[in-house]
Amino acid sequence: MKQPVFRIVRVSGSPVKDDDLLTDLKRVAESLGSITVPQQKYGTLGTYDYSTLIRHFGSWNKALLAAGLSLSNRINIADEELFENLLHLWEHYGRQPRRRELALSPSTISQTPYNRRFGSWTLALQAFVEYANSSEIESANAAVETYPPSQRKTGREPSLRLRWRVLQRDRFTCCGCGASPALTSGVELHVDHIIPWSKNGETMIENLQTLCSSCNIGKSNY
């Protein structure tokens, strides 16, 4: 005869700790395979009522942030932040990201803000490529010729446009070992100075290369 399974059922209205709420919120995110949890989804899959999280943390978005998750309904996100997230995904996958990957780590922005801003995922990709391929970076590099040789001509960190151009030129492949996230899962790409910044190397396309994390660490400042 099958033995009965006993479980403790939480009594409605009984006290609950913040840590328990956050643990359950993260559990639901994992079950969805998502970086965020819409309020309605938690109402279906969560152990507690979503109003309990709102009461404890002040709002649904504050509960998501406390759990280390992304916001599910951010509005008025700047184009630069939307494009930065797309470039990060392009680096991560070594190819054009897919719409469903917006709901997965390392994306920090869900699909809704892209649809709200651009009208569709396809139009968002088109807007990103037009922005990243714009010629502003060339004029910026040309302008540095007016600086005295003894001074720094560029900042240390390459802009989004410059990183995009280096990655495209190198076909999202490590210049050291040939690894690419498009072929091998877990490969992480970086845009690195050929002549190190610490040795007066400038942040210009001619002095930048794509390296995987292993080759970049091995290279150090040599």
pLDDT at residue 164 above 90?
yes
Q: Are 92 and 181 in contact (CB under 8 A)?
A: yes
Task: Report how far residue 98's alpha carbon sits from residue 79's, in angstroms, rounded to the nearest whole number.
Answer: 19
In the chain, what are the domain boundaries? Answer: 18-66, 79-132, 153-219
pLDDT at residue 149 above 70?
no
At residue 62, the pLDDT reads 87
pLDDT at residue 222 above 60?
no
Q: Are 114 and 107 in contact (CB under 8 A)?
A: no
pLDDT at residue 221 above 60?
no
Mean of pLDDT values over 109-133: 92
pLDDT at residue 142 above 90?
no
The model's confidence at residue 9, banded by pLDDT at 50, 70 and 90, is low
Mean of pLDDT values over 91-99: 94
Mean pLDDT of the chain: 84
The model's confidence at residue 219, banded by pLDDT at 50, 70 and 90, is low
- Three-state SS annotation for 63-121: HHHHCCCCCCCCCCCCHHHHHHHHHHHHHHHCCCCCHHHHHCCCCCCCHHHHHHHHCCH
Q: Among the ranges 139-143, 188-192, 215-219, which has the highest mean pLDDT value? A: 188-192
Number of residues that this document lists for the chain? 222
pLDDT at residue 152 above 60?
yes
Higher pLDDT among residues 97 and 111, named by residue: 97
Mean of pLDDT values over 170-195: 94
At residue 109, the pLDDT reads 85
pLDDT at residue 212 above 90?
yes
Element (H, E) at 193: strand 189-193
Mean of pLDDT values over 74-88: 90
At residue 141, the pLDDT reads 46
pLDDT at residue 143 above 60?
no
| High-pLDDT (> 70) share of the chain, % | 83
pLDDT at residue 147 above 60?
no
Mean of pLDDT values over 173-186: 93
- Low-confidence winner among 48-57, 136-145, 163-172, 204-213 (lowest mean pLDDT): 136-145
